[in-house]
């Protein structure tokens, strides 16, 4: 997958940008706060139509302006615009308005690497569920629909629970369970498919201990193994009524990551957590490549910083094998970009402007 051109208007500190992108990518150098991450965020907006930093759309609008626009072409032309006034988001695919965002996400395939990815490993289960949700939404056509159906049923069930109406809540058990079982099975199938690869990539990056990845169903005790969600919901209705929320289901689950016998979240060092986060991004790239038949674009924000020489060299090797396509690499100074990536043109970002 290659992005050939990019147009940005009033996105964060980028007022106006029109560029053609080299086939193998580009290295963007710039001091802190100049707009390097903003540019990567704008590109990734064309993938998911949301900020990869979890920012709200209106926060992406350049201060003092009414809305932003991003457009780019790969083998498909994708544009996205947002207006503060109507809080409206408009997406087009090959110049046709996209009626459902779910069908438009992932038409441009990219994987973003950022130092903040360590939070996926070190943070709460919500971040790991989000990792799975994004990844599966981009690679499995049905996933986003099932997830949306699940959230809708969950919202209604929780509203009834908050009003203390158990019968009304239980009316949503069946639609909730139907969507949730699909979400579960797709997540579990993905984890089973990729856990060996997670282990081998951590090892290839230079981690001596054995890394593990498994899916953990929340509040499913040993006696609940094999019960379906409908049974679990019936069983937990009293607890759910007391707490005013649904306490079992995919929205409470976790992706457990470990080194040896220990949780990476609880016991991993900063470097170990970062290594695992990079491994997650690399298997994301592999998953997208399998789903789309094309190597996704690699967006690298400060990715080599903090890594020792060995891990840096190992990572470069893995990127060369896994993500051999277009690379857009951002770094605060030349010395942080390994020479192997310097074959690419080097542009400078300053005050939201790119000097080529």
Residues that bind Mg ion (CB under 5 A): 37
Sites for ligand ATP among residues 292-351 (CB under 6 A): 332
297-301 vs 110-113, strand pairing mode: parallel
CA atoms of 182 and 143, how far apart (whole Å): 8
Contact partner at residue 33 from ligand ATP, Mg ion, none, CB < 5 to 8 Å by partner kind? ligand ATP
Sites for ligand ATP among residues 126-155 (CB under 6 A): none
Which of 13, 92, 133, 245 binds ligand ATP (CB under 6 A)? It is 13
34 or 195: whose CB is closer to ligand ATP? Answer: 34
CA atoms of 125 and 113, how far apart (whole Å): 19
36 or 281: whose CB is closer to ligand ATP? Answer: 36
Within 10 Å of residue 199's Cβ, how many Cβ atoms?
Answer: 16
Sites for ligand ATP among residues 60-89 (CB under 6 A): 61-63
CA atoms of 307 and 275, how far apart (whole Å): 9
**Among 215, 193, 197, 213, residue whose Cα is nearest residue 205:** 197
Largest CA distance in the chain: 65
Cβ contact 10:65 at 8 Å = yes
CB within 8 Å of 300: residues ≥ 6 apart: 113, 327, 328, 329, 330
Contact partner at residue 34 from ligand ATP, Mg ion, none, CB < 5 to 8 Å by partner kind? ligand ATP
Sites for ligand ATP among residues 25-54 (CB under 6 A): 30, 32-38
Classify the phi-psi angles of 250: left when phi > 0, otherwise alpha if psi is within -120 to 50, otherwise beta: alpha
Task: Report the nearest approach of ligand ATP to the CB of residue 261 (Å).
Answer: 36
Contact partner at residue 225 from Mg ion, ligand ATP, none, CB < 5 to 8 Å by partner kind? none
30 or 296: whose CB is closer to ligand ATP? Answer: 30
Task: Report the nearest approach of Mg ion to the CB of residue 182 (Å).
Answer: 37
Task: Report the nearest approach of Mg ion to the CB of residue 34 (Å).
Answer: 9
Cβ contact 68:60 at 8 Å = yes
- Listed ranges 56-64, 119-127, 211-219, 276-284: which one lies at the site for ligand ATP (CB under 6 A): 56-64
Which residues in this chain contact ligand ATP in the complex, by CB under 6 A?
12-13, 30, 32-38, 59, 61-63, 332
């Amino acid at each position: 997958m290659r992005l050939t051109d990019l147009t940005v208007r009033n996105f964060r500190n980028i007022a106006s940008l029109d560029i053609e992108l080299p086939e193998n990518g580009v290295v963007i150098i710039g001091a802190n706060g100049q707009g390097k991450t903003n540019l990567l965020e704008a590109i990734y907006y064309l993938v998911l139509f949301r900020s990869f930093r979890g920012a709200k759309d209106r926060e992406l609008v350049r201060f003092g302006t009414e809305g932003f626009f991003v457009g780019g072409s790969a083998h498909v032309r994708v544009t996205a615009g947002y207006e503060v006034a109507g809080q409206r988001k408009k997406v087009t695919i090959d110049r046709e308005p996209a009626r459902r965002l779910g069908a438009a996400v992932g038409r441009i395939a990219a994987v973003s690497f950022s130092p903040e990815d360590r939070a996926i490993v070190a943070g709460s289960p919500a971040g790991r569920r989000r990792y799975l949700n994004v990844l599966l939404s981009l690679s499995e056509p049905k996933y986003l629909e099932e997830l949306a159906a699940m959230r809708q049923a969950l919202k209604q069930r929780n509203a009834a629970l908050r009003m203390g109406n158990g019968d009304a809540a239980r009316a949503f058990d069946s639609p909730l369970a139907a969507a949730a079982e699909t979400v579960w099975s797709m997540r579990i199938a993905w984890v089973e498919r990729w856990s060996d690869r997670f282990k081998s990539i951590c090892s290839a990056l230079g981690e001596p201990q054995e890394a593990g990845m498994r899916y953990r169903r929340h509040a499913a005790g040993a006696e609940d193994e094999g019960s379906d969600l409908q049974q679990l919901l019936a069983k937990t209705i009293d607890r759910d009524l007391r707490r005013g929320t649904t306490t079992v289901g995919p929205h409470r689950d976790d992706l457990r990551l470990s080194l040896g016998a220990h949780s990476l979240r609880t016991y991993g060092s900063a470097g170990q957590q970062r290594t695992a986060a990079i491994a997650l991004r690399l298997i994301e790239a592999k998953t997208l490549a399998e789903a789309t038949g094309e190597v996704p674009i690699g967006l690298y924000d400060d990715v080599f910083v903090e890594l020792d020489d060995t891990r840096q060299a190992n990572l470069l090797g893995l990127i060369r094998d896994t993500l051999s396509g277009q690379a857009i690499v951002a770094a605060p100074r030349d010395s942080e970009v390994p020479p192997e990536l310097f074959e690419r043109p080097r542009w400078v970002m300053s005050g939201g402007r790119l000097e080529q």
